[in-house]
Amino acid sequence: MAEAAKQRPDLAAARSDVDAAIADVTVARAAGRPSISITAGRSSVNQQGTPTQNYGQVGINVSVPLFTGFSVGYGVRQAQAALQSREVNAEQVRLNVSLDVWNAYYSLDSANQQLATTGTLMTTASSNQDVAVGRYQAGVGSILDLLTAQTAAASARQLRISAELNWEVARAQLALALGRLTGAQPLNTEGSSGGKQPP
């Protein structure tokens, strides 16, 4: 969850919206406060036969709003309402990110279990096929037994391929939920089913 909180771009965008709304509230409040400005200027008088006269001017202006027709208060309330809306939106995005991560994690955990199950199934089916071939070659097994064992082994291999595909998809979904732009980094799935990976 901590990794997703750092890397998910939609969550970062929602937080940026909240920060912008906080700044808007500050600006709205400042609109009703006195403001000070400093002005400066320079002028010169150049008359023929006399030295050039330079004059510098510095001024300070203080502006105090006396009555703004309640526009400042309305502006502050509007900015605060926008901030609350963006905070709610950011929390909703955070909850969605959390849900995405947990769903992807449990999908990968399920895919790990499928890998373990299909691995066992494939080993058993291969052993049964070897026994059926041996029995058939020794003349004590029927062709029907051999074909049944071969069909079971082929089905087990098909299930294993499907499980490996599901594992890859689940791993990519977890990377996406965590906000990773590339799946090159290994994912830590320890604690689900021993972090199994397909051979």
What DSSP assignment string belongs to 70-137?
THHHHHHHHHHHHHHHHHHHHHHHHHHHHHHHHHHHHHHHHHHHHHHHHHHHHHHHHHHHHHHHHHHH
Q: What is the pLDDT of residues 52-69, one digit of tens each?
A: 666 666 677 666 665 566
Helix (H, G, I), strand (E, B), or coil: what is residue 15? helix
Q: What is the pLDDT of residue 51?
A: 61
* pLDDT score of 29 more than 90: no
Give the pLDDT confidence score for residue 35 in this predicted structure: 65
Position with higher pLDDT, 163 vs 193: 163
Tell me how long the chain is: 199
Q: What is the pLDDT of residue 197?
A: 44
Strand partners, 129: none
Query: Worst-scoring range by mean pLDDT, 35-44, 165-174, 179-188?
Result: 179-188
Q: Which two tokens stand for residue 198?
A: 């397909």
Greater confidence (144 vs 41) lies with 144
pLDDT band at 168 (very low <50, low <70, confident <90, very high): very high
Residue 12 covered by a domain? yes
| Contacts (Cβ under 8 Å, ≥6 apart) of 46 | 52, 53
Query: Is pLDDT of 8 > 60?
Result: yes
* pLDDT score of 7: 84
186: in domain:
no
**pLDDT tier for residue 27 given thresholds of 50, 70 and 90:** confident
Instruction: Please state the φ and ψ torsions of residue 44, each to the nearest 5 degrees.
Output: -135, 145
Q: What is the pLDDT of residue 4?
A: 82
Whole-angstrom distance, CA of residue 112 vs CA of residue 191: 11
Phi, psi of 58 (to 5 degrees): -130, 130
pLDDT class of 191 with cuts at 50, 70, 90: very low
In a domain, residue 145? The reply is yes
Sign of the CA dihedral with 14 first, then 19, 20, and 22 last: positive
Could you tell me the two tokens for 31? 């609109």
Least confident of 21-35, 40-54, 92-106, 127-141: 40-54
The pLDDT of 123-130, averaged and rounded, is: 95
CA neighbor of 100 nearest in space, from 198, 191, 10? 10
- Looking at residue 52, its pLDDT comes to 62
Distance CA 2, CA 129 (A): 48
- Specify the higher pLDDT residue, 31 or 80: 80
Euclidean distance between CA atoms 133 and 143, whole angstroms: 9
Residue 182: inside a domain, yes or no? no
Range of the domain at 10: 2-31+67-177
Assigned domain for 44 exists: no
Q: What is the CATH number of the domain that holds 82?
A: 1.20.1600.10
Residue 123 lies in a domain: yes
Q: What is the pTM of this model?
A: 0.61
**What average pLDDT does range 92-120 have in this prediction?**
94
- Give the total number of structural domains in the chain: 1
13 falls within a domain: yes
26, part of any domain: yes
